Structures are given as C-alpha cells and as structure tokens.
Amino acid sequence: MDERIEKYFLGKLNRFERMDLLKDLESDSEAKKEFIRFQNIVGLIHLSGYDKDEKEGADDYNQFVQGLKRKKQVRIFFHVIRYAAVISLLIVSTAILTMSLFKEKLPKVTMSSLYVPPGQRARLMLQDGTEVWLNANSTLLYPSYFSGNKRRVVVTGEAFFNVAKNAKKPFIVSTRKIEMKVLGTKFNVYSYPESDYVRTSLIEGAVEVKSERAKVTLKPNEQVTIRGGQMQVENITFSDYFLWKDGIYCFENERLISIIKKLELYYDVTIIVHDPQIFNVTYTGKFRQRDGIDEILQVLSRIRHFHVKKDVERNIITLSK
C-alpha cells in the first residue's frame, strides 16, 4: 500500500503532496481502491458522534464494533462485514445501528477544501462515488460525508463532475448565487470570480440550473451561459474544450482576447496587450497544460507574429507587435 494514502487521511501531507497523490491515483487502479477504502473508513469514524481527535475517534470506533459483537440483533450485520459485499452498505448499516442502538445525534459534517494551484489540475473521489476534476486555480468545498437528503458542494473556478446516481439524494453544485441540481450526470462548470459569466455545459443526463432570476433544465449537448442575470441556452459546438481535464487546452477559431483571459486564470498571471489589433486574431489549436504559459504564447506568437516580454518579479507578460 502507498503510505501516502494513510498520511493523506491523517493530515500529514502538505497541499502539493496531496496533489501528487491524487494525480498518481489516476493511473493506479489498486491504489485508487485502497484510497476509497480509507475514505469510507474515515466516514465511519465520523459517525462516532464525538468531537475528539483522530486517534480517540478510531478507538471509539473499535469499541463500538466490539460492543456490537455482544448483541444478538446485529449478527446479520457482521455476516455482511465478513463477506465484504459492498463498502457503501457498511456505511449505511453503521449509521442505522448507531442511531437505533445509541440514539445519538450525528456530529456536524466536517467541511474540506481542495485548491488546485495555477498550471495544475486534480481529480477527487467524493464519499458517494462522485468524481470531480478541478482545473487550474480552482477550489472545491465539500463535506466529509453527505448527510441529510441532499449532496451539496461549492465550486470556485472550473470543475467537471461525473455524479454518482442517487434518486433519493440529489447532487447540488453551488457557485456565485447559482445552483445546479442533478441526480446522476456528467457536466462542466466554468465559474472563475474574475470572469463576467458562469457557464454550465451538460454532457450526459440532465441538470437544472437556477439563478436568482430564472431557471432552466438542460438536455445533453446543451450549455447555458449566465451573464448579468440573463440566461442563454445553446448547443455545445466544441466538445474538445472539455479535454482540459486530461491536461489539454483546446481552442477553435477563438479570438486572442478570449484566450488571454483564460490563460490569465489558468496560470494566475497578468497579460498586457499594447496593440489592440492583436485581440482580433483568431486561433485553432491544442496545448498541453504542462507546457506552461510561456510555451503557449511563444507558439501563438510564431503564428501571428507578435512579441512576448515577461516581467518575472511582477508576474506580468506584455504582448506587442
């Protein structure tokens, strides 16, 4: 077992070490299974009902299990554990037994935050099996486990969701006073604070998008752009855009001004253009995220011939004819 997995849940990894681990899980199915197993065990410990540290929580959980062994009415429960049928059933059964045998209130849900630094991306598996890809300079706020009748997360930046189906517990994504409600689907959310719009793009399933003024239900291959309180629904014409979750930035007949705004968000840099005529030039191409903004701009400059100057200390890039 990768010892980083245990350290991850014990809070002994720094932000960058956590990022490296999550990236490595993409190509290691066994490690991914082990990560999910630990994640579910942590969820069980959170059901103990006590506000104590991790070691005490684990001790309480072990005592709880020993107590169950002495009770005849839970023999079926341990029969299920011995055969390890489904780990999610373990979580549900434990929750039910905790409430029925001990009649204690569940503890407050612990909220976690994952921030992806500029020039990086990450994938996260939530407690319910939902997969989330986070783009550069983005943040996801999510609970340690989903309680109640809703599964709610908050996004700042850009994220792609593959939501685990649960008809009794809808999945809700909140961002900038906008809510997206689904049961099980694949969709992309673009919501950087610096951008003047929020866009939800539906790949599969159905999603209800609700703002303070309006509401719309998207069908597959549709997207809605919300700008100034107004909603505009249209078909998705460039599906390669969503390759960002695979580390590829794609542009199709896109004006340089639009590309620049995205690069500023993705790489957390300020780009100044001295000649406005450069804005009107359009580009089509694909770039690897790991190439970095310097390489991307150099390639673009060779196509339309403009100069790139970088001020490292001030983190400013200047484009000119």
CA dist., res. 52 & res. 60, Å (int): 10
pLDDT per residue over 256-266, tens digit each? 889 999 999 99
Q: Give the whole-number percent of the chain exceeding pLDDT 70.
A: 74
pLDDT, mean of residues 36-61:
49
Q: What's the confidence (pLDDT) of residue 197?
A: 94
pLDDT-wise least confident of 17-31, 49-63, 96-110, 136-150: 49-63
Domain definitions of the chain by residue range: 3-102, 111-238, 247-320
Task: List the one residue out of 46, 19, 215, 196 whose CA is nearest residue 118.
Answer: 19
Tokens found for residue 161: 């969701």
Q: What is the architecture, at CATH level 2, of domain 111-238?
A: Sandwich (2.60)
The better pLDDT of the pair 162, 97 is held by 162
**Which amino acid, 152?**
R
Q: What is the mean pLDDT of residues 20-44?
A: 67
| pLDDT of 107 above 60 | no
**CATH number of 247-320: 3.55.50.30, 1.25.40.10, 3.40.50.2000, 3.30.70.2740?**
3.55.50.30
Tens digits of per-residue pLDDT, 229-241?
899 999 999 999 9
Q: Percent of the chain beyond pLDDT 90?
A: 51
User: Is 52's pLDDT higher than 50?
Assistant: no
pLDDT at 95: 45
Q: How confident is the model at residue 15, as a pLDDT?
A: 60
Q: What is the pLDDT of residue 65?
A: 42
| pLDDT tens string 127-161 | 899 999 999 999 999 998 898 899 999 999 999 99
Nearest of 179, 143, 181 to residue 47 by alpha carbon: 143
pLDDT for 125: 93
pTM over 0.75: no
Mean pLDDT of 280-286: 88
Residue 88: burial class (beta carbons within 10 Å; 0-12, 13-18, 19+): middle
Q: How confident is the model at residue 321 (pLDDT cuts 50, 70, 90)?
A: confident
Residue 96: its H or E element: helix 87-102
Angstrom distance (rounded) from CA 201 to CA 236: 7
**What secondary structure letter does DSSP report for 243?**
G
Residue 72: what pLDDT? 39
* Mean pLDDT in residue range 190-199: 94
pLDDT at 37: 66
**Which pLDDT belongs to residue 225?**
97
**Does 204 score more than 60 pLDDT?**
yes
H helices of the chain, in order, are 3-9, 15-25, 29-46, 54-69, 75-83, 87-102, 256-267, 292-304
Q: Which residue has the higher pLDDT, 18 or 227?
A: 227
Is the torsion defined by CA of 171, 188, 242, 297 positive or negative? Answer: negative
Percent helix, percent strand, percent coil in the chain, to nearest 5: 40, 30, 30
Give the CA-trace dihedral at 15, 32, 202, 172, to 10 degrees.
-70
